[in-house]
Amino acid sequence: MSKLWGGRFEQTASEWVDEFGASIHFDAQLVLEDIEGSIAHVTMLGDQHILTADESEQIIGGLNTLAEKAQAGELSFSVFHEDIHMNLESLLREEIGPVAGKMHTARSRNDQVATDMHLYLKRRVGETIEGIEALQTALYTHAANNVETIMPGYTHLQRAQPVSLAHHLLAYFWMLDRDKERFNDSLKRIDMSPLGAGALAGTTFPIDRHRSAELLGFSRVYPNSLDAVSDRDFILEYLSNASLLMMHLSRFCEELILWSSEEFKFITISDVFSTGSSMMPQKKNPDMAELVRGKSGRVIGNLMGLLTIMKGLPLAYNKDLQEDKEGMFDTVKTLQGSLSIMTGMIQDMTFHADTMKQATERDFSNATELADYLTAKGLPFREAHEVTGTLVRYCIEQRLYLSELPLETYQTHSTLIGTDVYEALSPVTAVKRRNSYGGTGFDAVRTQLTEAATKLHQPTS
């Protein structure tokens, strides 16, 4: 059997060389996109009378048959034919005979594979956005039920100020919303057709690239054939957006892992998303959260891999670009799995409000409240900060908390302090009063929830 491109060659490659150069092991995932692109191309060739109506109908009929077989899992591919394009052309030839060879008129595998990946990512981005929205909904639901649940807020992983649990959860909601915006915006670059660019220079045939783009649902056509076949920016942008999303999920997972530990006991992760130890019977490990945290590394690695491939490539197509797909496929799979796991884990999670609130009562996270209290009484903030720091040091020495200090002790440090200081030091009061826009105050959080609900119900463009 000869290669479909083998007319110029006298020698044939060894099997191991074919194996090394073939991409069919992974680009078989593009089978339906490849068939879809071929149907649009052949339809356009028929419209332009480059193929006869009979030839066009025969080829399209054969391609539809292959699509049905592909969906039923009935197609077998060969390394000998290297990639999904040549495999499908060979299978089409078996279906309809030599006329199958006319399908490739005015087309190269260079513009063909680029078209496949544009079609593939256009669909996958839509699925990613749906996955993000599902996770946002899970976060929103818990936030709406926990506006007045108090927990410690942290900086440097040290207790800083008490916050609303809803406020903390909504921080991730807004991170995800920016991720969603980035993916949505990336569709502008994905929604472009390279089909008809040929190998690099276009074609002498009177094709209509805008017609094939219209048939495939693309809104734009690459205006430069060299750029069309060599561009992988749209994949890099997807991988970059995916890396940001996975970084956000990883940060959240790190907190969930901490919160579920005996040291925190803020949450219980469902057994469905936990595992045990083969040696220690008491263990309940947050393995799914750890896996999502770990999988962020492979997604970021896929981005770095393709950036490294692209950085030294001259125009136009180079075989190096065969390496653009595995990382893309892996990232799509990792993203879908991670979003599904995170959504289920959040939906089934139990928050321990009492434990969280107790944590805010046995620390110095209300020290800022005392400084603000003194400032409101007329003391310059820098002096109020100094007085509060001195009182905190005194409490540490006496093994007390600010709420336990007698009024007489307070007044030896500042005569501005009255009995109302104890109410000001209450964690609930501390949170409730912070109603600046975007703050953790209960009213401010309810405003956030209203805005978040609007975001969830906005259609993506």
DSSP 285: B
Question: What is the Cα–Cα distance from 251 to 172, expressed in whole angstroms?
Answer: 9
Q: For residue 378, which phi and psi values (nearest 5 degrees)? A: 115, -5
- The residues pairing with 192 across neighbouring beta strands, listed in sequence order, are 220
3-class SS letters over 391-450: HHHHHHHHCCCHHHCCHHHHHHHCCCCCCCHHHHCCHHHHHHCCCCCCCCCHHHHHHHHH
Question: What is the Cα–Cα distance from 209 to 359, expressed in whole angstroms?
Answer: 64
Question: What is the Cα–Cα distance from 96 to 58, expressed in whole angstroms?
Answer: 7
Neighbours of 314 (CB within 10 A): 6
Active site residues: 156, 277
Cα dihedral across residues 216, 220, 223, 228: positive or negative: negative
For 208-297, list the strands marked E by DSSP: 220-221, 267-268
Place of tokens 């992983």: 157
Distances in whole angstroms, Cα of residue 386 to Cα of each of 383, 398, 400: 5, 19, 19
Place of tokens 């080829």: 59
Tokens of 93: 């030839």
Distance of CA 96 to the CA centre of its chain: 42
